[in-house]
Structure 1
Amino acid sequence: MPELPEVETVRRGLQPAMEGAKILKAEARRKDLRFPFQKDFIARLEGQTVTGLGRRAKYLMADLTSGDVLLMHLGMSGSFRVLDGGANDTPGQFHHPRSEDRAHDHVVFHMSSGRSVVFNDPRRFGYMKIIARNVLEHEPLLKGLGPEPLGNEFDAAMLAQSCFNKKTSLKAALLDQRVVAGLGNIYVCEALYRSHLSPRRLAATLATKKGEPTDHAGRLVNAIHSVLNQAIKAGGSSISDHRLTSGELGYFQHSFQVYDREGEKCQTKGCGGVVRRFAQNGRSTFWCPKCQK
């Protein structure tokens, strides 16, 4: 599933085609994706101008002149394709090519910019929903989300408070979208490695007995900021079929220091350890047992 850097890359790729443009025509070529489309889905889109295209965690959010917000999630295999005359761009980057089977083009937005934005999703785990902006904070899909990891409010103190007295592992806590929104398996592995913290460490060790942040919390927050910013700059990691607007594959996977490097020497200077993999909460965890404590 796409993580925060991939979704942010998609958002930036769609902005020129959608932001400030009117949806002249919308097509839903089937009745559902993961969930059924709302009965008035098309009617609430057509004729509306997209005033802004934002992101919350792994969701894309298009603000409309009507006061509605179009909430979009890529799911496991979803991608957007921007058609501009003969040109064909796919915003985002993933390691394996996204589906090019037009039979899976399920939603199409025809924009006044002269471009068409096509949502393709073979597995149909993605979804779209229109929500009134004034009730957005009560939307069940968004209500329980934690802070944005690149937001100003996310710091060592906030992370320590979220993990205070938690009995789960540090990795499990970071994957909990209520603790921090948008992180997934890849970037949690990378951040833990860069902060030299074991994925098996108790989450509670990020806080003192009084709930204040430990040095571990500060190192981890800095590592999260670093790896996410690096991945966004690179256009998102290239895992699970993601592509950039140009259609070129991404290159952040070449910057992975631990993820998918089982059996390789640890890249930490002077460590001499070997990267290992083990299953944790149903996910593959990559780490260096020697320098991650």
Structure 2
Amino acid sequence: MPELPEIETIRRGLAPHLEGRRIVDVTLNRPDLRFPLPERFAARVTGAAIAPLGRRAKYLLVPLSTGETLVIHLGMSGRLLLLRPGLAEAPGRFHHDPGRLPQHDHVILALADGYRLVFNDPRRFGFMLLAPTQDLDAHPALAGLGVEPLGNGFSAGLLAARFAGRRMLVKAALLDQRIVAGLGNIYVCEALHRARIAPARPAHAIAAPEIDRLAAAIRDVLDAAIRAGGSTLRDYRHEDGSLGYFQHDFHVYDREGEACPTPGCSGRVARFVQAGRSTFHCPACQV
């Protein structure tokens, strides 16, 4: 599933092409994704101008001049792709995306300048919502989300307060979207490795100096991923079809059996299954 850096990368990539543009037509090739599309979806977004894009955790926010915001979640395999003007005569030909299957193009938004924004999702685990912009934070999908790890509200002190008294494992705590919003399996594994904290330790047992390292590591790994363009895993793509490349810089994720990259460490990356997800770590330097 695309995590915070992937959604932020998409937001930044789409912003120059969407912001200030008007939606002139909507094609719905099915009535539902993971959930049914909003009632009167096409009528509610057609004619709307797009305001500056936002992001909350793993959700892309597309505010509209109608007073509603289009909330997009990509799920496991969803992609947002821009079809360039001039390719209208050959629908399905996306730049840098030869493997795309047009039968999975479920929602297409045509813009006034000729671009088309396509939501393509083979597995249909993604979804789209429409909610009043002024009440967005109260929407059930967003209301329970925790602090943004790249926002001003995130700090070691806040993390310590959220961990206090929690017996759940530290990795599970970081994956809990009510504690920190937007973190997923990839970047939690990476941040814990950089902070030299074993993923199976109880959250309440993490000492203050370790939490300082962890908070800094979370920001660092997310910043690095966004600068590198996000992580391309399996069927994830950027908004223009191109690939991200931060996966080449992973320290532990998907590197089972390889030498730990921590200077002076002689350990090797190990993998175990935790709550149904693969956890990658170095048993030698993560304690």
Class of the TM-score when normalised by the shorter of the 2 chains: over 0.9
Other structure's SS at 1:43 match: helix
Amino acid at match of 2:178: R
Does the CA-based 8 Å contact 1:9-1:232 persist in structure 2? yes
The 10-residue stretch of structure 1 (98-107 or 170-179) with the greater mean CA deviation from structure 2: 98-107
Does the CA-based 8 Å contact 2:260-2:268 persist in structure 1? yes
Q: Which residue pairs with 1:237 in the alignment?
A: 231
Other structure's SS at 1:50 match: coil
> Which of 205, 208, 213 lines up with 1:219 in the alignment?
213
1:193 and 1:47 map into 2 onto residues whose CA distance is 48
Q: Which residue pairs with 2:35 in the alignment?
A: 35
Q: Which residue pairs with 1:55 in the alignment?
A: 55
Q: State TM-score, norm by structure 1.
A: 0.92
**TM superposition outliers: structure 1 runs of 4+ over 4 Å:** 87-91
Q: Which residue pairs with 1:211 in the alignment?
A: none
Backbone CA RMSD of aligned residues? 1.6
2:17 and 2:40 map into 1 onto residues whose CA distance is 24
Does the CA-based 8 Å contact 1:99-1:122 persist in structure 2? no
Per the TM alignment, residue 206 of structure 1 is displaced from its structure 2 partner at its CA by 3.5
- Segments of structure 2 that go 5 or more residues without pairing to the other structure are 88-92
Other structure's SS at 1:52 match: coil
- Cα deviation 1:224-274 (Å, max 9, x = unaligned): 011000000010011132223453322211100111111111111111011
The 10-residue stretch of structure 1 (7-16 or 120-129) with the greater mean CA deviation from structure 2: 7-16
Other structure's SS at 1:26 match: strand
Q: Which residue pairs with 1:287 in the alignment?
A: 281
Q: Which residue pairs with 1:94 in the alignment?
A: none
Does the CA-based 8 Å contact 2:225-2:231 persist in structure 1? yes
2:13 and 2:100 map into 1 onto residues whose CA distance is 18
Q: Which residue pairs with 1:84 in the alignment?
A: 84
Do residues 184 (structure 1) and 184 (structure 2) align?
yes
Q: Which residue pairs with 1:210 in the alignment?
A: none
- Cα deviation 1:183-235 (Å, max 9, x = unaligned): 0000000000000000011111236xxxxxx0111100100011000000010
2:77 and 2:99 map into 1 onto residues whose CA distance is 8
Does the CA-based 8 Å contact 2:22-2:111 persist in structure 1? yes
Q: Which residue pairs with 1:144 in the alignment?
A: 144
Are residues 248 and 51 of structure 1, via their aligned partners in 2, closer, same or farther at CA, if it must alter by over 3 Å?
A: closer
Amino acid at match of 1:19: E
Are residues 235 and 18 of structure 1, via their aligned partners in 2, closer, same or farther at CA, if it must alter by over 3 Å?
A: same
Q: Which residue pairs with 1:260 in the alignment?
A: 254
Are residues 287 and 206 of structure 1, via their aligned partners in 2, closer, same or farther at CA, if it must alter by over 3 Å?
A: same
Q: Which residue pairs with 1:197 in the alignment?
A: 197
1:105 and 1:264 map into 2 onto residues whose CA distance is 39
Q: Which residue pairs with 1:169 in the alignment?
A: 169
> Which of 234, 251, 256 lines up with 2:245 in the alignment?
251
Are residues 148 and 28 of structure 1, via their aligned partners in 2, closer, same or farther at CA, if it must alter by over 3 Å?
A: same
Amino acid at match of 2:212: G
Q: Which residue pairs with 1:75 in the alignment?
A: 75
Per the TM alignment, residue 289 of structure 1 is displaced from its structure 2 partner at its CA by 0.6
Does the CA-based 8 Å contact 1:148-1:181 persist in structure 2? yes
Per the TM alignment, residue 40 of structure 1 is displaced from its structure 2 partner at its CA by 1.5
Percent pairwise identity: 52
The 10-residue stretch of structure 1 (191-200 or 268-277) with the greater mean CA deviation from structure 2: 268-277
Per the TM alignment, residue 86 of structure 1 is displaced from its structure 2 partner at its CA by 3.8
The 10-residue stretch of structure 1 (145-154 or 130-139) with the greater mean CA deviation from structure 2: 130-139
Does the CA-based 8 Å contact 2:81-2:240 persist in structure 1? no
Q: Which residue pairs with 2:266 in the alignment?
A: 272
- Segments of structure 1 that go 5 or more residues without pairing to the other structure are 92-96, 208-213
Per the TM alignment, residue 104 of structure 1 is displaced from its structure 2 partner at its CA by 0.7
Does the CA-based 8 Å contact 1:99-1:120 persist in structure 2? no
Do residues 11 (structure 1) and 11 (structure 2) align?
yes
Amino acid at match of 1:135: D
Amino acid at match of 2:57: A
The 10-residue stretch of structure 1 (78-87 or 162-171) with the greater mean CA deviation from structure 2: 78-87
Does the CA-based 8 Å contact 1:79-1:90 persist in structure 2? no
Amino acid at match of 2:221: V
Other structure's SS at 1:142 match: helix
- Cα deviation 1:122-175 (Å, max 9, x = unaligned): 111110011011221221100110011000110001111111100100000000
